[in-house]
């Protein structure tokens, strides 16, 4: 059995146990009646079944399937982001360029493995050209805020996220054609860190981490979640070209960056007076609510792995 197949079996087993626990809680604790916490838990578990199935299907298709999936996720994430940010008629052309030029170009370059261009396409060329597109519309009202919002939307929703499938392009000696395992590693560590921070926070409680930004996050949740994700990363060293200790260090970095990214995205949401980015994923919110940690962790993980191992 291949590493990906073993990983899928493990994921399905975890989801099966979680589903069983959720049903027992609904029957024993809620006694079949509506219960906000348990109903939310079961909705989250049901959504995880769908998300794992989509990712497994993309892996089964191959690198093209993974790249296409993340290009679609970038479009959905950018749509959620653009729906809450302040824009005017003069920004519509710049946004259209982001959706219909920047996203296909970024992921097309990733598919070609053209690192020298996809690594600077958005942070250099898009950052310079999109303000020009907005300025040509002749609307100076809150211009800097509007332009900055568009630029950072591309950075977060497209540039950061595109570094997940970009892992498939790394040519690591002795690890050829196994880039999907690196994709699985970074996604598992980041998502596990998010879940475990929530679990540790509920179990231990304690002082809030940043109550004005994310009322549910606690210091104990942050420490426990990152520590647990680090241990998980060490156990999953066989998915990577790293040794156990290096895998633990990478997992620690990824989990910490993911937690910081989640806090930044919470600050943006609070600034706009919303709790979730959207409602596409029951129990989770929007696409950005599920991927906010990934967009910060993936680029650093990619570049560090590329620097150290290729």
**Using one digit for the tens of pLDDT, what is the confidence trace for 251-305?**
999 999 999 999 999 999 998 888 888 888 877 788 998 899 999 999 999 999 9
- The more confidently predicted of residues 14 and 39 is 14
For the cut 90, the answer to whether the pLDDT of residue 160 exceeds it is yes
DSSP string, 205-260: --SEEETTTEEEEEHHHHHHHHHHHHHHHHHTGGGSSS-HHHHHHHHHHHHHHHHH
Would you tell me how many other CB atoms lie within 10 Å of the CB of residue 272? 12
In this prediction, residue 1 carries a pLDDT of 54
Separation of alpha carbons 178 and 171, rounded Å: 9
If you search the block for the tokens 């620097």, which residue do you land on? 307
- Percent of the chain as helix, strand, coil, to the nearest 5: 75, 5, 20
Structure confidence at residue 48 (pLDDT): 86
Alpha helices in 103-213 (DSSP H): 103-112, 115-118, 127-135, 143-154, 161-162, 179-204
For 97, left (φ over 0), alpha (ψ -120 to 50), or beta? alpha
Residue 42 pLDDT level (bands cut at 50, 70, 90): confident
Per-residue confidence (pLDDT) for residue 139, from 0 to 100: 87
71 pLDDT higher than 60: yes
Residue-wise pLDDT for 180-216, tens only, equals 999 999 999 999 998 888 888 878 878 888 888 888 8
DSSP-based three-state secondary structure for 113:
coil
Q: Is the pLDDT of residue 41 over 80?
A: no
| The predicted structure's pLDDT at residue 216 | 80
Pick from 198, 299, 309, 200: which is nearest to 254 by CA? 299
Residue 309 φ then ψ, to 5°:
-125, -10
pLDDT value of residue 210:
84
264 CA to centre of own chain: 13
Q: Which residues lie closer than 8 Å to 155 by C-beta, 6 or more apart?
A: 122, 123
pTM above 0.85, yes or no: yes
CB 228 within 8 A of CB 200: yes
Between 150 and 33, where is the model more confident?
Answer: 150
Domain ranges in the chain are 1-61, 88-167, 170-310
Give the rounded percent of residues in the chain with a pLDDT score beyond 90. 57
């Amino acid at each position: 059995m291949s590493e990906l197949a073993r990983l899928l079996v493990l994921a399905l087993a975890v989801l099966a146990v979680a589903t069983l626990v959720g049903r027992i809680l609904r029957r024993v604790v809620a006694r079949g009646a509506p219960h906000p916490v348990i109903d939310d838990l079961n909705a989250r578990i049901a959504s995880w079944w769908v998300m794992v199935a989509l990712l497994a299907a993309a892996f089964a298709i191959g690198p093209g399937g993974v790249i296409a999936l993340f290009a679609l996720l970038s479009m959905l994430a950018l749509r959620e982001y653009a729906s809450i940010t302040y824009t005017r008629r003069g920004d519509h052309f710049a946004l259209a360029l982001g959706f219909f030029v920047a996203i296909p170009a970024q992921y097309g370059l990733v598919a070609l493995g053209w690192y020298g261009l996809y690594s600077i396409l958005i942070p250099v060329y898009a950052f310079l050209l999109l303000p020009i597109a907005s300025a040509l519309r002749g609307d100076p009202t809150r211009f800097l805020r509007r332009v900055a919002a568009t630029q950072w939307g591309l950075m977060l929703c497209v540039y950061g996220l595109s570094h997940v499938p970009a892992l498939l392009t790394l040519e690591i000696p002795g690890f050829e054609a196994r880039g999907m395992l690196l994709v699985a590693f970074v996604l598992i560590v980041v998502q596990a860190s998010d879940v475990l921070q929530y679990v540790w926070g509920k179990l231990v409680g304690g002082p809030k981490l940043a109550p004005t930004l994310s009322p549910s996050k606690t210091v104990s949740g942050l420490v426990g979640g990152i520590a647990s994700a680090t241990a998980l990363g060490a156990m999953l060293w066989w998915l990577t070209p790293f040794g156990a200790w290096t895998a633990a260090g990478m997992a620690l970095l990824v989990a910490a960056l993911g937690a910081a990214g989640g806090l930044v995205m919470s600050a943006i949401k609070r600034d706009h007076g919303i709790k979730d980015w959207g409602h596409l994923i029951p129990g989770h919110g929007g696409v950005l609510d599920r991927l906010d940690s990934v967009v910060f962790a993936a680029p650093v993980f990619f570049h560090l792995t590329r620097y150290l191992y290729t």
